[in-house]
Amino acid sequence: MTRIFAFLLACAANLATANQAFANAPTNPKMTEVQVASALGEQRGEGQPYEVVGTEVWNVADPKSGRDYQVFVALPPSYDKETERRYPVLYVTDADYAFAMLRQITRRLNLDKPVVEEYILVGLSYAIGEGGMPSRRRDYTPSLNGPNTDTPHGQGQQYLQYLAQSVFPFIADKYRTDEARRLFLGHSYGGLLGAQAMFTAPEMFSGLILGSPSFWFDEHVMWSFEQRYAKSNKDLAARVYVYVGEYEDMKPGDERYATRYNMVTDARQFEKTLKQRGYPSLKLRLDVLNDEDHLSVAPRGFTHGLKFLLPAKGAK
């Protein structure tokens, strides 16, 4: 009898623990056991892949190209509690690596006190079934004359239209977004795409982080985009943060430096040109981050960019 009583007591305790766990999980009757475990911060175990807890993945097809893409979404900590609040949205390219990195950088920045304002993070994946390089060479570049002849380039404008016509409405319909505060982050070709959006569809984003932008592409064709914009516009209403690594210029004889492009020089030319335009609403900052190259600079650039675009109230 004593053993039976102990067994029943243990069962009751386990049931109470399980009920409490489910009570703390998001209230969605369609959630699977794996989704509930994810919501509680648990990993699936038994050799299954590690997942980024508290994130969502949605398929958002491009009807014009016929290609399928996914968007990765991470909601801010207060989202379920502050049900009337709307949040800025940060769209990041190259989501396969940048999405998880940004989410964790934001989490750590705000561990002790608010440093970065809460926001909805949306990762933009590569086309389903394609490798990263072919997808980004096509979707993130502004003209056909790319350095790699084995894959197509120059469909950046079509990709921006896909974002505006398919992705933005999807996210705005599903989440409480502040559509006046759509933000962008892109590195390398992603930074080039952000510059193209600035000069061809400035209404898309109110703020941009352009990381090590590939202004060298197609003999600096982005300069012609900038010139066309300047001829027709007297203002550029955006906050723009540009970062580049110290070693992203060429310096023969020093292996720390780039061997093909002068990306620091290009970034400084970009800054100089835009400041000379005298756009009254433009807030522009360029950081050349010391001791970093094209591959190492992103985490620091992401951190400084978040602080520039999304400073929490009272943050210094």
Residue-level pLDDT at 40: 56
Q: Which of 265, 302, 298, 273 is nearest to 198 (CA)?
A: 273
Q: What's the CA gap between 31 and 39, in Å, rounded?
A: 10
Residue-level pLDDT at 213: 98
Beta strands in 164-299 (DSSP E): 177-187, 207-211, 238-245, 282-289
- Here the tokens at position 82 are 């502050």
Q: Write b or e for each residue in 42-59: b if 16 or more Cβ atoms lie within 10 A of its Cβ, otherwise e.
A: eeeeeeeeeeeebbeeee
Residues 153, 60 contacting (CB under 8 angstroms): no
Pairing of strands 55-59, 70-74: antiparallel
Which domains does the chain possess? 1-45 (no CATH), 52-309 (3.40.50.1820)
Residues 6+ apart with CB under 8 A from 303: 105, 109
Residues 177, 171 contacting (CB under 8 angstroms): yes
Q: Write b or e for each residue in 261-284: b if 16 or more Cβ atoms lie within 10 A of its Cβ, otherwise e.
A: bbbbebbbebeeebeeeebeebeb
Q: What's the CA gap between 96 and 218, in Å, rounded?
A: 26
pTM: 0.87
Segment-wise mean pLDDT, segments of 10 residues, the chain, 316 residues: 41 39 43 51 87 94 97 98 98 97 97 97 97 96 92 96 98 98 98 98 98 98 98 98 98 97 98 98 98 98 98 87
